Amino acid sequence: MRLKLHWQIFIALCLGILFGMLGRAAGFENFIIEKVYILGIIFLRALRMVIVPLIVASIISGVTGIGSAENFGRLSLKTFTYYIVTSLLAILTGLVFINLLHPGIGAHLGLHEIPGDLQGNVQKLGDTLLGIIPTNPFRSMVDGKILPTIFFSLLFGFFISKAPKPYNRQLTDFFQGFFEVMMRLTHFIILFTPVGVFAIIAKIIASTGIDVFIPLGGYMVAVVAALSFHAFITLPLLLYFIGGVSPRAMFRAMSAALLTAFSTSSSSATLPLTMSSMENNAGVSNKISSFVLPLGATINMDGTALYECVAAIFIAQVYGVDLSFGQQFIVVLTALLASIGAAGIPMAGFVMMAIILKAVGLPMEGLGLILSVDRILDMMRTSVNVWSDSCGTAIIAKSEGETELKVVK
Ligand code: ASP
């Protein structure tokens, strides 16, 4: 019998850690970084290859099934309400934990340089919002810009259902077929996840080591504790009481996607796995998952929102700045906006920190403090991002009366 995919990924993850540590101890870390990591690059490229066609096919075929504008409006309202409420809950959890544990107060930390390419790399929020409407949808697809691609696909799918006969049927069949092909192609790539995960993790450990974590231990504990609270308490409670969904069954259904999010630190790269796990393991229809998940992978980032808040207040604590209630409120609000604006790629949340520091007048050098541990925290917050998208999809599917769900309590 073949081992289940999530076990394969978990074993690959552990082997990757061991191999990376061995590489550092025995001095062959360059071999891992330069040669072994190529397997990780191949895997990430293959995942990125399917993202745009998968999103387009899935959204168009999903939206044609939604039917009326009224259904569409109701689904959008539920989805955006879920995104905003859970992101705010995550931020507030972060706020409570960092204020209770206050790891930054009195900490003496050496400042590190901020890498030049991260400075000034932040897009203005207004530009991000305007950019949702593509001036040329094909260019957005070619450039891999997710939000404008989603926007155009949603409209296109919706108007297929408004097109006259026989074109509406023909186009619906065409995109349904396109989607079936993309799903099979995605499954094929997913088979190689353990290999990709092994190489990526081995490279991270070989190039960072574990010793950088020690001086920032308190800060990491605060982030991890708050993330765990959100992932293991808040979201499961919502799943159970609002969705009528079993958190344990959901966790089992999504484990391969969560482990992949952990290893790749990218919600976007994980999206193909999230979608296939949601549909095949959790039994959610393509109609719901193709609407909630691609949007969620780009704008619903609970883990990132929580992290932004904790990191900003940690930096304030280290610099001895006492943030007033009003300033903490600004942190909450900007953390929410930053998480919406962050792309689903590694370290996007770190780059967005600049917005919050600027908003409350904290020094940009503060970023240098937390940079060395960002990668490992990124892995955790990305898993929470994907977990929240998945929980939202299940809750919304249940509320829409889906009967094929395999995760009901
Ligand atoms: N890496 C995260 C994600 O893809 C975003 C972040 O950096 O917080 O979801």
* Pocket around ligand 1 at a 6 A CB cut-off: 265-267, 301, 304, 342, 344-349, 378, 381-382, 385
pLDDT of residue 120: 44
Average pLDDT taken over every residue of the chain: 88
Nearest alpha-carbon partner for 152 in 278, 47, 59: 59
Interhelix angle 167-190/146-160, rounded to 10 degrees, is 140
Task: Kindly state the greatest CA–CA separation across the chain.
Answer: 71
Task: Quickly count: other Cβ atoms within 10 Å of residue 325's Cβ.
Answer: 7
pLDDT of residue 135: 95
Q: Do 203 and 37 meet the contact criterion of CB atoms below 8 Å apart?
A: yes
Distance 282 CA to ligand 1 centre (A): 24
Q: Do 384 and 303 meet the contact criterion of CB atoms below 8 Å apart?
A: yes
pLDDT of residue 126: 67
| Structure tokens, 366 | 């503060």
Q: Do 308 and 291 meet the contact criterion of CB atoms below 8 Å apart?
A: no
User: Could you read off the pLDDT of 66-117 as tens digits, one per residue?
Assistant: 777 788 889 999 999 999 999 999 999 999 999 999 888 876 665 544 444 4
Distance 350 CA to ligand 1 centre (A): 8
pLDDT of residue 55: 84
pLDDT of residue 397: 95
Does 3.10.20.10 match the CATH number of domain 5-399? Answer: no
Task: Quickly count: other Cβ atoms within 10 Å of residue 96's Cβ.
Answer: 12
CA–CA distance, 276 with 257 (Å, rounded to integer)? 9
Q: Do 66 and 291 meet the contact criterion of CB atoms below 8 Å apart?
A: yes
User: Could you read off the pLDDT of 220-242 as tens digits, one per residue?
Assistant: 999 999 999 999 999 999 999 99
Ligand 1 atom with the shortest distance to the CA of 307: 8
The percent helix, strand, coil of the chain (3-state, each to 5) is 80, 0, 20
Distance 381 CA to ligand 1 centre (A): 7
Distance 72 CA to ligand 1 centre (A): 28
Q: List the domain boundaries for the chain.
A: 5-399
CA–CA distance, 143 with 172 (Å, rounded to integer)? 26
Alpha helices in 161-301 (DSSP H): 167-190, 193-208, 217-229, 235-237, 247-264, 267-280, 286-299
- Please determine, for residue 265, whether its predicted confidence score (pLDDT) is greater than 70: yes
Share of the chain above pLDDT 90, in %: 52
User: Could you read off the pLDDT of 10-34 as tens digits, one per residue?
Assistant: 899 899 999 999 999 999 999 999 9
CA–CA distance, 210 with 298 (Å, rounded to integer)? 30
Place of tokens 């610099």: 319
CA–CA distance, 396 with 46 (Å, rounded to integer)? 30
Q: Do 244 and 399 meet the contact criterion of CB atoms below 8 Å apart?
A: no
CA–CA distance, 30 with 359 (Å, rounded to integer)? 40
User: Could you read off the pLDDT of 125-183 as tens digits, one per residue?
Assistant: 666 678 889 999 999 999 988 888 888 998 998 899 889 999 999 999 999 899 889 88
CA–CA distance, 37 with 122 (Å, rounded to integer)? 28
Q: Do 34 and 202 meet the contact criterion of CB atoms below 8 Å apart?
A: no
- Please determine, for residue 385, whether its predicted confidence score (pLDDT) is greater than 90: yes
Average pLDDT over every residue of 318-344: 87
Ligand 1 atom with the shortest distance to the CA of 267: 4
Write down how long the chain is.
409
| Structure tokens, 198 | 């092994």
Residue with CA closest to ligand 1 atom 6 = 349
Q: Is 209 helix (H, G, I), strand (E, B) or coil?
A: coil
